[in-house]
Amino acid sequence: MKKETKLKKEEKKEEKKEERVIIPIGEMTKDIMEDLLVELSYSVYWPAIMSYFEGRRIYVRDGIASVDPFKEPTLVARYQGNLQSLNDLSDAIEVIKKDRKKAEENENDKQ
């Protein structure tokens, strides 16, 4: 009985390994990237990712507030660029979701 259970566990591990396919960045299409980002946003990992982003946003905002923009304009620009990039990912995923929802609704209306 124990041998059977061990074999089943090993088979399940092999199945999980086969499910993971890593696509090189150069070969990834825009549609695949969007699919993966949307899938990620529904995963259990998403709250942790967003929590990390929020911590970074706070850090960057504090950095902007602590720097004199006349004395160190380059540093302020770097902070602003970091803040923008942190906002871009979550905003982009929300836009993708809305666009897909609209496309589905339009498709359903046509039928």
pLDDT one digit per residue (tens) for the chain, 111 residues: 555 566 666 666 666 555 667 888 888 899 999 999 999 999 999 999 999 989 999 999 999 999 999 999 999 999 999 989 888 888 889 999 999 999 888 888 877
Check: pTM over 0.85? Answer yes or no: no
Helix (H) or strand (E) holding 87: helix 73-110
CB atoms within 10 A of CB 60: 19
**Tokens 């380059």 appear where?**
74
Contact 57, 51 (CB under 8 A): no
Please state, in angstroms and rounded to a whole number, the distance separating the CA atoms of residues 100 and 35.
Answer: 10
